[in-house]
């Protein structure tokens, strides 16, 4: 269950909820929302109130509700709620509206406050989120037939072993290649020739090269539309960035290569999905690539 859904359901029940460093939502006591209703319920005008508070505390009642509904331990539920609040503020700070189904939307004003616009319909049903990651689908294994789980587990283990072997072979090959180049003896005559050529550099060519650098100094990164991206690798030179860009793209991923400055480059995977999925996607990519992935907008 998403934190956003649990937040809305808790507000329907308790009539008030505080969102960390964002503000407080409240519903008039006269408004009654039927739980698990099959029909869409229309919210009366001004049924939901929002009070902006940049120092709003975390709602302990909401944390207990998340623990009860998800069966997670309290520190993990607290971490999920804090992550949702942080990502929501980042989303608002870049000028995008934060849409909360069943409540409405928040928008940051020019004065720096958050303005709330109430939605039309209540969202009274708790629905399980649909993810495209196999690791989430594997939690709901059907044990009614002992044959199918064994086959599925065997295939999954075989794929995992193959991926690990390929990754190990690639790492070993790169290590041996690096060691081979590091052990090559230095050719003294080549160094002397290079030093001689360095003293005879044509200054006119330096001026021309400098002009070309200035002309092309601004990177031209054209990327497809996305809600956010997850940075999986950082490099200090263009050669390594291009090499691994081709390598990761060959696995079937859509890779964005961004140039931070003249010597720093990043590789990221774009996603066009809701804000609630960022935490799960970041953790999945961190385990897949063996790095500490970062969220960027």
Model confidence over 202-249: pLDDT tens digits? 444 433 434 443 444 444 455 557 777 889 889 898 888 898 888 888
Mean pLDDT of 280-288: 80
- pLDDT, residue 6, reads 92
- pLDDT, residue 60, reads 95
**Nearest residue to 53 (alpha-carbon basis) of 113, 118, 8, 107:** 113
Tokens of 189: 């005559």
Where are the chain's structural domains?
Answer: 3-127, 219-297
DSSP annotation of 45 reads T
pLDDT > 90: percent of the chain: 27
Residue with the bigger pLDDT between 245 and 272: it is 245
Residue 99, phi-psi category: left (phi > 0), alpha (psi -120 to 50), beta (remainder): beta
- pLDDT, residue 62, reads 93
Pair 102, 88: CB distance under 8 Å: no
What is the second-level CATH architecture of the domain 219-297? 2-Layer Sandwich (3.30)
Mean pLDDT of 185-209: 44
**pLDDT per residue over 80-126, tens digit each?**
999 999 999 998 999 899 999 888 999 999 888 999 998 887 765 55
Q: In what order do the strands lie in the sheet with 265-271?
A: 256-259, 265-271, 228-235, 294-296
Pair 284, 135: CB distance under 8 Å: yes
Kindly tell me if the per-residue pLDDT of 171 is higher than 80: yes
Question: In whole angstroms, what is the distance from residue 245 CA to residue 268 CA?
Answer: 9
pTM beyond 0.75: no
pLDDT > 70: percent of the chain: 71
Kindly tell me if the per-residue pLDDT of 155 is higher than 90: no
CA 123 to chain centroid, in Å, comes to: 26
**Nearest residue to 168 (alpha-carbon basis) of 28, 275, 15, 290:** 290
**Nearest residue to 101 (alpha-carbon basis) of 80, 78, 81, 118:** 118
Count other Cβ atoms within 10 Å, centred on residue 99. Answer: 16
Question: In whole angstroms, what is the distance from residue 195 CA to residue 201 CA?
Answer: 10
- pLDDT, residue 141, reads 53
């Amino acid at each position: 269950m998403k934190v956003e859904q649990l937040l809305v359901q808790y507000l329907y029940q308790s009539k008030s909820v505080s969102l960390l460093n964002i503000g407080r939502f409240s519903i008039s006591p006269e408004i009654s929302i039927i739980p698990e209703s099959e029909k869409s319920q229309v919210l009366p005008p001004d049924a939901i109130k929002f009070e902006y508070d940049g120092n709003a505390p975390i709602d302990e009642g909401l944390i207990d509700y998340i623990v009860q509904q998800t069966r997670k331990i309290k520190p993990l539920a607290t971490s999920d709620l804090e992550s949702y609040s942080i990502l929501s503020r980042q989303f608002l700070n870049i000028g995008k509206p934060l849409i909360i189904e069943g409540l409405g939307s928040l928008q940051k004003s020019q004065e720096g406050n958050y303005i709330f616009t109430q939605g039309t319909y209540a969202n009274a049903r708790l629905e399980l989120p649909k993810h495209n990651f196999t690791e989430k689908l594997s939690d709901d294994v059907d044990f009614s037939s002992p044959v199918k789980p064994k086959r599925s587990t065997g295939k999954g283990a075989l794929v995992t072993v193959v991926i690990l072997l390929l990754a190990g072979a690639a790492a070993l090959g790169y290590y041996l290649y690096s060691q081979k180049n590091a052990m090559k003896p230095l050719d003294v005559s080549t160094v002397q020739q290079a030093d001689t050529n360095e003293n005879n550099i044509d200054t006119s060519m330096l001026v021309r090269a400098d002009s070309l650098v200035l002309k092309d100094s601004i990177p031209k990164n054209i990327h497809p539309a996305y809600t956010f991206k997850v940075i999986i690798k950082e490099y200090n030179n263009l050669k390594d960035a291009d090499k691994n860009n081709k390598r990761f793209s060959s696995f079937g991923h859509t890779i964005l290569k961004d140039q931070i400055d003249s010597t720093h480059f990043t590789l990221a995977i774009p996603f066009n999905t809701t804000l609630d999925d960022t935490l799960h996607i970041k953790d999945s990519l961190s385990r897949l690539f063996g790095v500490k992935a970062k969220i960027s907008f």
